[in-house]
Amino acid sequence: MKETRLLNTVGIFIEKWRGVRGRRGQLTLKVEKRAYFAEITALLLHLAGYAAVIGILLASVFSGRIAVSAFAAVFASLSALIQQMDELIGERFGELAENYAGIRNYRAFMERKTAPQEGDGGEEHHEIRLHKAGFSYPGGEAVLKDIDFTIKEREWIAVVGENGSGKTTLARLILGLYLPSEGEVCYNGISTAGLCYGRLQEQASAVFQNFRKYKLSLQENVEIAAKGPAAQMGVEEALNQAGITLSKEVFPEHLNTVLVKEFGGVDLSGGQWQRIAIARGIYKRCGLIVLDEPTAAIDPMQEHELYQTFLEAAKGKTAVIVTHRLGLARACDKIIVMQEGQILDVGCHEELLERCDYYRRLWEVQASGYLTASG
């Protein structure tokens, strides 16, 4: 809002809104015109049919083939019949057509598997395999194409590449949050499309780039990830590991401090929120942990510490780390280099340095940045 006011961009937005409103008006007019002409045509046909039937009936009365009483009886039943048909076709079928899309979505939603079922991947995963997997966001072009690789149990995988190369989307596909539009993602050989989503959730934890800031207490902000046996440590321990110090000044009511001013609580900095998101991610007991670089608002020293915390928490687990920091990627078993939605190369740091020009360039740019900074 401050930027909008300072740059005085209000006029631009109003102009854009007027343009969109105008285009929307034109489209509405076009659709309504079509509907109106269809309605008028149907009404004229209806009237013509009605007039023809009455004409035939009158002709029959005048020629003496039917009595006036029979005319009256047929006329009355005809009117009732037409009224009912009008209601059936015009209203009921109209409503059905209007609601069809909504009903289809509702049924698809209700029929989704929610309860664990036998053979649906309830056991711990040993292997996640992406086979010719592709993904497009609704109405968009393919964001991921032909992704083929396997993550073995307890393997650490780093995903690196430019912004927009599809790293976050790939992490969501691995987590089963999105189903691939092409190919498949399999847990122990079973496609995520056939797996029970609840089971996938139980096995995985993640720290996202756009994590939630719950307007709840500090304790609830961590505990929300897992209850009881689903937690692998205490709330305080998770917070300590993520580098949160529970001082009286910052958290006057200790774990019960509410993290929002509106409800009488405190305001936290971006960096503190990120630490809480990491605490939430490592708090949950899981076999697979995903980190999608949530460290934008902290300084490099803190970032280094947080990554160490995360790696510590990932010990003995399968980990997928989306990162720009090649130093972190180096600590992983395999690095996937993404470019324009495709895998450019997969290998360990040394292999990639040797054979992947793009990776080598990325490494040299980062290494020279550090040299310049320290030199």
CA distance 34 to 40: 10
Q: How far is the CB of 144 from ligand ADP (least distance, A)?
A: 8
Q: Which of 158, 169, 276, 337 binds ligand ADP (CB under 6 A)?
A: 169
Residue 340 as a binder of ligand ADP (CB under 6 A): the answer is: no
**How many of the other CB atoms lie within 10 Å of CB of 254?**
13
Residue 164 as a binder of ligand ADP (CB under 6 A): the answer is: yes
Query: How buried is 205 (Cβ within 10 angstroms: 0-12 exposed, 13-18 middle, 19+ buried)?
Result: buried
Q: Using an 8 Å Cβ cutoff, are 319 and 289 in contact?
A: yes
Stretch that binds ligand ADP, among 166-174, 234-242, 251-259, 310-318 (CB under 6 A): 166-174
Residue 370 as a binder of ligand ADP (CB under 6 A): the answer is: no
Stretch that binds ligand ADP, among 53-61, 64-72, 164-172, 355-363 (CB under 6 A): 164-172
Residues 73-92 that bind ligand ADP (CB under 6 A): none
Alpha-carbon torsion 54, 55, 61, 66, what sign?
negative
Q: Which of 254, 307, 248, 255 is nearest to 281 (CA)?
A: 307
CA distance 360 to 67: 100
Residue 94 as a binder of ligand ADP (CB under 6 A): the answer is: no
- DSSP string covering 68-128: HHHHHHHHHHHHHHHHHHHIIIIIIIHHHHHHHHHHHHHHHHHTS--S--TTSS-SPPSEE
Closest to ligand ADP by CB, 143 or 313: 143
**How many of the other CB atoms lie within 10 Å of CB of 152?**
13
Residue 295 as a binder of ligand ADP (CB under 6 A): the answer is: no
The CA-CA-CA angle for residues 134, 211, 241, to 5°, reads 115
Closest to ligand ADP by CB, 244 or 338: 338
Q: How far is the CB of 337 from ligand ADP (least distance, A)?
A: 11
- Give the SS3 label for residue 351: helix
Residue 166 as a binder of ligand ADP (CB under 6 A): the answer is: yes
Amino acid at 260: V
Residue 163 as a binder of ligand ADP (CB under 6 A): the answer is: yes
Closest to ligand ADP by CB, 37 or 137: 137
Closest to ligand ADP by CB, 8 or 163: 163
149: its two tokens: 């690789």
Closest to ligand ADP by CB, 71 or 149: 149
Q: Using an 8 Å Cβ cutoff, are 194 and 118 in contact?
A: no
Residue 140 as a binder of ligand ADP (CB under 6 A): the answer is: yes
Stretch that binds ligand ADP, among 162-170, 210-218, 232-240, 323-331 (CB under 6 A): 162-170
Closest to ligand ADP by CB, 169 or 274: 169
Residue 168 as a binder of ligand ADP (CB under 6 A): the answer is: yes
- For 215, phi then psi, to 5°, come to -85, 65
Closest to ligand ADP by CB, 168 or 274: 168
Q: Using an 8 Å Cβ cutoff, are 174 and 151 in contact?
A: yes
Closest to ligand ADP by CB, 166 or 281: 166
Q: Which of 145, 167, 199, 349 binds ligand ADP (CB under 6 A)?
A: 167
Footprint of ligand ADP (CB under 6 A) = 137, 140, 143, 161, 163-169
